Chain A
Amino acid sequence: ETGVTQSPTHLIKTRGQQVTLRCSSQSGHNTVSWYQQALGQGPQFIFQYYREEENGRGNFPPRFSGLQFPNYSSELNVNALELDDSALYLCASSLGRQGSYSYEQYFGPGTRLTVT
């Protein structure tokens, strides 16, 4: 069983450009969440996808968008990059919920995005 994987590991972009980050969920996981972690801070929730539908969004502008595919892998797209978008982007997957029990999220190693 493979864990959560993310690509690329590192990325350098110029202000105003667009970027796509990718995440492969752990096998069998149908829920994916994305987080932004600025240097020295805790992760901030961007949004979550459950079975290809957005299922909650944090306080991020519309230029942050996402997709979840039928195999439950996911993409995070950021348009019109700003310097403040420089951060570690973490993806987490889980089995979601079964009845009243909610499963844990398992994190990938992250993508380090630098905007210059």
Chain B
Amino acid sequence: AQTVTQSQPEMSVQEAETVTLSCTYDTSESDYYLFWYKQPPSRQMILVIRQEAYKQQNATENRFSVNFQKAAKSFSLKISDSQLGDAAMYFCAYRRRWGNEKLTFGTGTRLTIIP
């Protein structure tokens, strides 16, 4: 079974600074997807960024980028130029590439932005 671990229950960062959220996962599969989702107090889960395991290049989306280390089974999220609107719970998630679309989530990291 696949597992996803987020070892930082809470993180805080000064506005405009950079913060990195950690995620490790365990799987015996070689082909899969990894995601970071953001869940603000409104509760709606929003996709931040997606990484295909077969791609060596790290994904980037504007101020968000990942550091994907397949051998180490590590998938961290870097948020640059942090903004007040980035405050939320961040969840790392795993999905097999083939088969159904079941997402396996970590327990989340609560990110606070300090003005």
Contacts and interface: CB of A to CB of B under 8 A. Distances in A.
A66 interface: no
A58 B105 CA distance: 13
Contacts of B100: 48, 50, 55-56
Nearest to B93: A42
Contacts of A100: 97
Contacts of B91: 42-43
Interface string A50-92: 1000011010000000000000000000000000000010101
B90 to A, nearest CB: 10
A108 B45 CA distance: 7
Contacts, number: 62
A109 B104 CA distance: 19
A45 B103 CA distance: 7
A44 B107 CA distance: 10
A88 B43 CA distance: 9
A31 interface: yes
Contact of A106 (B42, B47, B107): B47
A42 B102 contact: no
Contact of B101 (A48, A88, A90, A112): A48
Interface of B: 4, 33, 35, 37, 42-47, 50, 91, 93, 95, 97, 99-108
